[in-house]
Amino acid sequence: MPDATRQALWDAALKVGRAAGLDNAGTVEFLYDNDSGQFFFIEVNPRIQVEHTVTEQVTGYDLIKSQILIAEGRPLSDPEIGLGYQVAIKSHGFAVQCRVTTEDPSNKFIPDYGRLTHYRSASGLGIRLDAGSAFSGAVITPFYDSLLVKVTAHGLRFIDAIRRMERCLQEFRVRGVKTNIPFLINLVNHDDFRKGGVTTRFLDETPALFQLPVRQDRATKVLSYIADVIVNCHHESPVRAAFNSPQLRSMSREPAPLPPLPQASTNTAGLMAGSRDTFKELGPEKFGTWVREQKPLLLTDTTCRDAHQSLLATRMRTYDILQIAPVYARQHAQLFSMEMWGGATFDTSMRFLKEDPWQRLFEMRSRIPNILFQMLLRANSAVGYTNYPDNVVKLFIKEAFAGGNGVDVFRIFDALNWLPNLKLAIETPRRRRHRRAGDLLYRRYPRRSP
């Protein structure tokens, strides 16, 4: 744009602001006819707009801070603002902004929604990111703006800003929802755009912008392949065809040398007495006293819980766990408990392994009758998130303990974030007294944050 035209735009914007009595930040928009050199007024937005990062990058002024200080009554000449003289405002280099949204450019930019299974943004010299709720695990709803992050690239030359923008967009990794990143990459790489010769007809007249490459997601595919081979063997291996057959052990690769281990069996005769035997002998109240009186360290084994939740290849099937269960019962009866249950392990059993978690619990108990089973759960928290509704937690605890064939010890995870979380599992008369004591402690030492 010619300098004279740019100056005329500024003059018109100031004229509009003075006529309206605008005394804070505002944005005046015009359309510019590249053929005739004329410009036309569109509208005024008496506020900061989403493109303000471009102005901040090329001028160095903090517009957000400035508008707040002006609203406080400070003059433009205040050193904290530094806008006392229009001639002092200089533009340095070029800046371009791209708005990364969860929109599908191949389907008329219809917004997409869902959970971000993976989110990785880019950075580097001359790149500014203004992000909102974009992170791995974030849920994108259809009820709000689809903007994930604003990317602003700055450079001494227009082509420098464009190259930085293209490199930055290429480094983004967003999985779980569709985004407009492939379209933006096509746009900033187009010759006409780089020459600055585009008009409002550019999208309609350039169908090549919508020839979008299919994202390969190679990393996920490689990890999935590795996990499949490790767990199920290679697809050409004869072991894979007989994966669930009794002959699997003899057909697999040579196992690592191990000491003699008891065979998986439901025969529990002759087992050494363990913590659960003490629990059954004393009952819950006296057992709690016994635990507090112990001087040696009481150990809990978490192998079975951790193995449930590995994301790559060690999600343990019931078959695998039952093979090692007799080892615990016969050689590790001195353990205080085995942590092997909880919401996440329950979900993993059902959703990924397609197994009945209650049947697994019953079969493990039949092979390990002498060690306490421990369950991990996270009660609802007042610090900004919830995992399960209260009634689900209560019923889950009840069912996990029912009949004496299930879980014995319940550990509340993150309970000290907010002491009332403990109330979910404490409702007996004696424990109710303990709960009131906990409430007194809570009132005496309240949480510092709301």
pLDDT in tens, 43-85: 999 888 999 999 999 999 999 999 999 999 999 889 999 888 8
Instruction: Report how far Cα 167 is from the mean position of its chain's Cα atoms.
Output: 24
Residue 105 per-residue DSSP state: G
Q: Dihedral of the CA atoms 147, 152, 153, 157 (nearest 10)? A: 120
Give the model's pLDDT for residue 421: 59
Question: What is the model's pTM?
Answer: 0.53
Q: Dihedral of the CA atoms 15, 17, 20, 25 (nearest 10)? A: 180
Query: Within the chain, which residue ranges are assigned CATH 3.20.20.70?
Result: 263-444
Longest alpha-carbon distance in the chain: 99
pLDDT per residue as tens digits for the range 132-185:
778 888 888 887 788 999 999 999 999 999 999 999 999 999 988 999 999 999
Give the model's pLDDT for residue 303: 84
Pairing of strands 409-413, 372-378: parallel
Helices 318-331 and 357-367 sit at what angle, rounded to 10 degrees? Answer: 30
Q: Which residue has the tokens 């509208």?
A: 43
pLDDT per residue as tens digits for the range 312-343:
444 678 888 888 888 899 889 999 999 888 77
Model confidence at 241, in pLDDT bands (50, 70, 90)?
Answer: low
Task: Check 47, 120, 215, 447 and give the catalytic one.
Answer: 47
**Is there a catalytic annotation at residue 47?**
yes
Domain covering 263-444 in this structure, CATH number: 3.20.20.70
- Answer whether residue 385 shows pLDDT above 70: no
pLDDT per residue as tens digits for the range 26-37:
999 999 998 888
Contacts of 160 (CB under 8 A, 6+ apart): 93, 94, 126
Give the model's pLDDT for residue 86: 79
Give the model's pLDDT for residue 243: 58
